[in-house]
Amino acid sequence: MSSKIIIIATAVLLVASFSLLFIIEAKNHNYDYNKTWSVIYFENPQDNSLDFAIENHEGEKSEYGYRIFVADDKVIDEKVEINAGATQKISPVISSERLMGNKVLIEVNYKDTEYKIYKNLGK
Amino acid sequence: MIFDLLKLIFTVPFLLVLPGFFLQLAVFGMKDKRISFLEKAVLIIPLGLIATNLIILFLNKMGILLNGPVIVGAVLIFCAACFAIFQFRFGKKKDKKEKESDEETEKIFDFSSWQTIFILLAILLAVFIRTAYLSDTIVPSATDLGHHMYWAQTIIDSGQLPNYGVPDFIIGEHMIFAAVNLVSGVKLMSAMPVLLLFLFNITGIFTIAILLGRIFENKKIVAVSFFVAGSLYAINAPQGRYVSGGVIGNIIGDMLIPVALYFLFRAFTEKDQIFAGLFLFSFAGLLYTHHLSSFIFIFSVAGILFLYLILNIKNIFGIVSDWLKVFLKPFPLAILLLSAFFFLFVFTPSYFNAAAVTQATGTPTKITRVGLSLSQIEGGVGSAQLFLATIGFLLALLAIRRKQLKYSVTIGWIIVLFVMTWKPALLDVNIPSNRISNYLFLPIALLSAYGLVRYFEIFGAAASRFFSAVLLFTLLFFVITNGLSDSADAFKARPQFQQAMETFHSAEYLAATVDTNKDVVLKDHVNMYADSWYKLFFMKDYKYPLSRGMLTRYVDPTKTRETCTRDMISFPESDVARECFADTGVNYVAVNAQIEGSSFEQLPEFSKVYGSDEISIFKRN
């Protein structure tokens, strides 16, 4: 009888533990749950396109400022509000003559944190 | 989430309990006098794992594409076949006599109320400490687990078993994870792999307990073994840390080694062919799962039997002849032939070649293989365990009866593993000493449980009750404080879930934007968290993306190592690195944003295409 109690109790304990761990993992395997971070990236890193995206994983609706520099000249300075967990795609319009052969830098600010990405565009 | 959990909760018993149960039914019937309920229950999972692995190997050999319905059907057919054998062997027998003698068998594992409470508390503590520790590491991130899951994913994607091409991976480390995914649909990038390892780890505590039960036939020792093997150093390697770290071979090996030894011990002491056959079956399962565990097991058995034969040298031929008689019977011979058939014609483990044996034996070739110092061994196994095991060893020496195999197991096992760890050259062993030391846990748990109980018994009967009580409490205080100290880490750890998720996000970005046929990605293992899981996002090749490994790996006095993966991240502006970029075709580099990211930002030949708090990705123009 004692063996049966031990085996049954262990099985129940393991199912409870597994369920808890499975749920903890499933909840945390998420870009937003209990996390505070942001990311910016070019939608297409392969070509000269400047389309980029900002993802807000800060846990709240936030305002991001973004500035675009072409060879150190600021050409765009805007702000955008992004919902928690959302992705904002931005397609800057800059003439191709202006871009050619230059480094294009995109700076995104959220509170005190600055994110930047850039492309060195060929001629 | 809940649906996935339910699927997992039903799939794991289906793949691990059902085949094990029916296999036992075919072998032992319903009421076999030789095996107790506890033993049957404990052995279900190891036997079920081996059976499921063999089923998958067979399906693969038959050219049947592995998928959920096929595996479910094959497992059901296997269970039906086992049931038919059961009906054929036991169906018409009415076993009144067996029922009577069944009570005798149960006696070894029929614990008193206090012993049951003690065991339940030890199991509760063991599960609680591990759960607390794993709750901070449960999101997939461990390096070894990432590597292993790549191969499991390969099985899932292709429906076939992989050809590794390298002896480092063994098929038994991957099949069960793929099978659980194929049957349940629960992803590998979830808690599932760690939970399976957790199950095997807890089962390992029970397999040690039944081994001790048969060796010592002492319920107190069995009860204490749950505390010693389950609760002491519950986080240290090879326990909780190996579960979360995904050291699959060790965890399964630590479960199967006591099982194989249990069957061998019973085969020899009870001269029973059924146990001899099950020993061969479990050993075959071990061979399919982990080469190092198999190697350690072979040495362990050799050490135990050698000691027994030396102690009984006058009767050596009689003993060997008795042993052979046990194995030269229909059931073990059938299992031997079946195993040989599997190894030769169904699936040969990747490490089965002369080169692997040569590499693992001979004079140690590296500093990491020349043995550990005594203080390193103490640090590895834990002071309290070592102290208890020393007491157990001395008491076993004092109590030794040369004709009883149990003393050779108790003493021979620890001696051979200790020499392999401390002075491997004496046994011509040439494998990393710290990896061998992880297996010391098994004989040390055995000796500790024996030592603790015998210590209690000796001092409990001592003339001075006060003196004995002080000694006992001092020992227990030391054992509990020292033995549970590592478990404090379980409550101090801070989860790194965000870092892992940022790494996965960057991998997802690259997988969606690069063309793996022409783009070559290099990522950093040194400063990126959970990076080994990167390859699961591409599933192109085990070595894709390229990776900067731990820096010590590039310094190897025994052979020349490639250094491009290091140089391209450590010195990207150097001429050597430029040559490496040209030679390897690397055009994307993923690195830690704060460390290597800043240096890459100075280089005009790179564009930064992705930036988060943790990860930066650069594209070579």
Q: Check which CATH number belongs to the domain holding A49 and give it.
A: 2.60.40.10
> Do the Cβ atoms of A120 and B621 come within 8 Å?
yes
B21 in contact with A at a CB cutoff of 8 Å? no
Same domain, B311 and B346: yes
Is residue A5 domain-shared with residue A44, that is, in the same domain?
no
Residue A51 has pLDDT above 60, yes or no: yes
DSSP string, B217-281: --HHHHHHHHHHHHTTTSSSTTSHHHHHHT-HHHHHHHHHHHHHHHHHHHHHHHT-HHHHHHHHH
Q: Closest CB to A2: pick one of B110, B192, B605.
A: B110
Whole-number Å distance between alpha carbons of B155 and B66: 8
Best mutation site among A24, A34, A49, A106 for testing chain B: the one with the most B CBs within 10 Å? A24
For A3, the closest of B109, B495, B501 (CB atoms) is: B109
What distance in Å separates residue B236's CA from the closest CA in chain A?
19
Same domain, B477 and B364: yes
Chain A hits for B612, Cβ within 8 Å: 37-40, 115
Instruction: Check whether residue A10 and residue A26 sit in a common domain.
Output: yes
Structure tokens given for B400: 């030794």
Alpha-carbon gap, residue A73 to A56, rounded angstroms? 27
Omega before B238 cis (within 30°)? yes
* pTM (two decimals): 0.93
Overall size of chain A counted in residues: 123
Same-domain pairing of A72 and A102: yes
Is the CB of B131 inside 8 Å of chain A's CB atoms?
yes
Write down the mean pLDDT value for chain A.
Answer: 91
Helix H segments across B246-400? Answer: 248-270, 273-289, 291-311, 316-327, 330-341, 354-360, 374-381, 383-399
Please provide the average confidence, as pLDDT, over all residues in chain B: 89
- Nearest residue of A to residue B201, measured between CA atoms: A14
**Residue B489: predicted pLDDT:** 65
Percent of all residues in chain A with a pLDDT value above 90, rounded to a whole number: 73
Q: Is B614 on the interface with A (CB under 8 A)?
A: yes
* B497 Cβ under 8 Å from any chain A Cβ: yes
Contacts of A17 in chain B (CB under 8 A): 127, 130-131, 198
Report the chain A residue with the minimal C-alpha distance to residue B519: A46
Q: Where are the alpha helices (DSSP H) in B91-184?
A: 96-108, 113-134, 143-158, 175-184
Confidence of residue B104 (pLDDT cuts 50, 70, 90): low
Q: Is the pLDDT of residue B144 over 80?
A: yes
Domain identity same for B402 and B508: no
- Confirm whether B461 is domain-assigned: yes
What is the CATH number for B606? 3.40.50
If asked whether residues A86 and A115 sit together in one domain, one would say yes
- How distant is the Cα of A92 from the closest Cα of chain B, in angstroms? 15
Checking if the pLDDT of B339 tops 90, the result is yes
Contact A1 B110 (CB under 8 A): yes
Q: Which chain B residues in 41-60 lie under 8 Å from chain A, judged by CB atoms? A: 41
Answer yes or no: do B289 and B375 share one domain.
yes
Strand, coil or helix: B523: strand
Tokens of B361: 């034996």
Asked if B160 and B545 count as a contact pair (C-beta separation under 8 A), the reply is no
Contacts of B509 in chain A (CB under 8 A): 41
Task: Choose the closest CB to B1 out of A14, A23, A115.
Answer: A23
Position B445 scores a pLDDT of: 93
CA quadruple B268, B269, B273, B277: dihedral sign? negative
A71 and A18 co-located in one domain? no
Q: Are residues B358 and B445 in the same domain?
A: yes
Q: Which of A5, A23, A27, A28 to mutate to test the interface with B (most CBs of B within 10 A)?
A: A28
Most confident of B30-39, B138-147, B473-482: B138-147
- Whether residue B472 is found in the same domain as residue B545: no
Pair (B538, B460) in one structural domain = no
Which one-letter DSSP state was computed for residue B171?
Answer: G
Q: Are residues A46 and A12 in the same domain?
A: no
Q: Which of A17, A71, A46, A110 is nearest to B194 (CA)?
A: A17
Q: Give, as one character, the DSSP assignment of residue B422.
A: H
Query: How many residue pairs from chains A and B have C-beta atoms closer than 8 A?
Result: 166
CA distance B154 to B146: 12
* A42: β partners: A52
Pairing of strands B520-524, B546-548: parallel
Residue B536 structural domain = 497-620
Whether residue A49 sits in one domain with residue A21:
no
Average confidence (pLDDT) over B292-306: 94
**CB–CB contact A31 B5 (8 Å):** no
What is the tally of structural domains in chain A? 2
- Examine the domain organization and report whether B464 and B606 are in the same domain: no
CA distance B40 to B406: 21
Gap from B607 CA to chain A (nearest CA, Å): 5
At residue B576, does pLDDT exceed 80?
Answer: yes
Contact B417, B427 (CB under 8 A): no
If you search the block for the tokens 């936030």, which residue do you land on? A62
Q: Of B486, B519, B537, which closes a domain?
A: B486
Higher pLDDT, residue B429 or B518: B518
**Same domain membership, residue A12 and residue A55:** no
**Mean pLDDT of the B151-156 span:** 96
Residues B505 and B416 in one domain: no
Q: Tell me whether residue B491 is in a domain.
A: no
User: Which one of B607, B615, B618, B620 makes the best mutation probe of the A interface by having the most chain A beta carbons within 10 Å?
Assistant: B607
d(CA B553, CA B499): 24
**Residues of chain B positioned with their CB less than 8 A from the CB of A55:** 505
DSSP classification of residue B573: T
Domain boundary among B458, B486, B514: B486
- Kindly identify which residue of chain B lies nearest to residue A36, measuring between CA atoms: B498
Candidate from B171-180, B423-432, B575-584 with smallest mean pLDDT: B423-432
B11 and B138 inside one domain:
yes
- Give the range of the structural domain holding residue A21, as residue numbers without chain letter: 1-30
Cβ contacts of B123 on chain A, cutoff 8 Å: 6, 9-10, 13
What mean pLDDT do residues B68-73 have?
Answer: 96
Name the DSSP class of B67: -
User: Looking at residues B392-414, what average pLDDT do you find?
Assistant: 92
Share of chain B above pLDDT 90, in %: 67
How many CB atoms sit inside 10 A of residue A122's CB? 9
Burial class (CB in 10 A: 0-12, 13-18, 19+), B562: exposed
Lowest mean pLDDT of B169-173, B333-337, B369-373, name the range.
B369-373
Alpha carbon distances (Å) from B427 to B376, B416, B418, B537: 20, 9, 11, 44
For the cut 70, the answer to whether the pLDDT of residue B143 exceeds it is: yes
The answer to the question of residue B146 being in a domain is: yes
Neighbours of B558 (CB within 10 A): 7
| Burial bucket for residue A77 (CB in 10 Å: 0-12, 13-18, 19+) | exposed
Q: Are residues A10 and A66 located together in one domain of the fold? A: no
Q: Looking at the structure, do residues B469 and B556 belong to the same domain, yes or no?
A: no
- Residue B423: strand pairing partners: none
Are A9 and B4 within 8 A, CB to CB?
A: no
Task: Check residue B87 and give its pLDDT.
Answer: 92
Q: How confident is the model at residue B490 (pLDDT cuts 50, 70, 90)?
A: low
Percentage of residues in chain A with pLDDT exceeding 70?
Answer: 98
Q: Do the Cβ atoms of B501 and A120 come within 8 Å?
A: no
CA distance A6 to B386: 28
ipTM, 2 decimals? 0.95
- Are A13 and B123 in contact (CB < 8 Å)? yes
User: Quick check: B136 and B495 in contact, CB under 8 A?
Assistant: yes
Residues B474 and B501 in one domain: no
**Does residue B492 sit within a domain?**
no
Average pLDDT over residues B95-102: 51
Domain count, chain B: 2
Helix H or strand E encompassing A37: strand A37-42
pLDDT in tens, B13-45: 999 999 999 999 999 988 888 899 999 999 999
Q: Is residue B381 part of a domain?
A: yes
Which of B128, B510, B610 best probes binding to A when mutated, by most A CB atoms within 10 angstroms? B610
With beta carbons under 8 A apart, name residues in chain A contacting B190.
22, 25-26, 29
* Among A3, A21, A118, beta carbon nearest to B131: A21
How many other C-beta atoms are found inside a 10 Å radius of the C-beta of residue B288?
A: 25
Greater confidence, B508 or B238?
B508
Q: What is the dihedral of CA B373, B377, B380, B381, to 10 degrees?
A: -170
Region for residue A40 given its phi and psi (left: phi exceeds 0; alpha: psi -120 to 50; beta: otherwise) = beta
User: In this model, does residue B491 exceed pLDDT 70?
Assistant: no
B600 in contact with chain A, both atoms CB, cutoff 8 A: no
- Tell me, yes or no, whether A48 and A88 share the same domain: yes
pLDDT at B368: 74
Contacts of B115 in chain A (CB under 8 A): 2
Indicate the residue among B486, B513, B535 that finishes a domain: B486
Quick one: A58 and A93 in the same domain?
yes
Give the span between the Cα atoms of B453 and B245, in whole angstroms: 33
Is the domain of A21 the same as that of A46? no
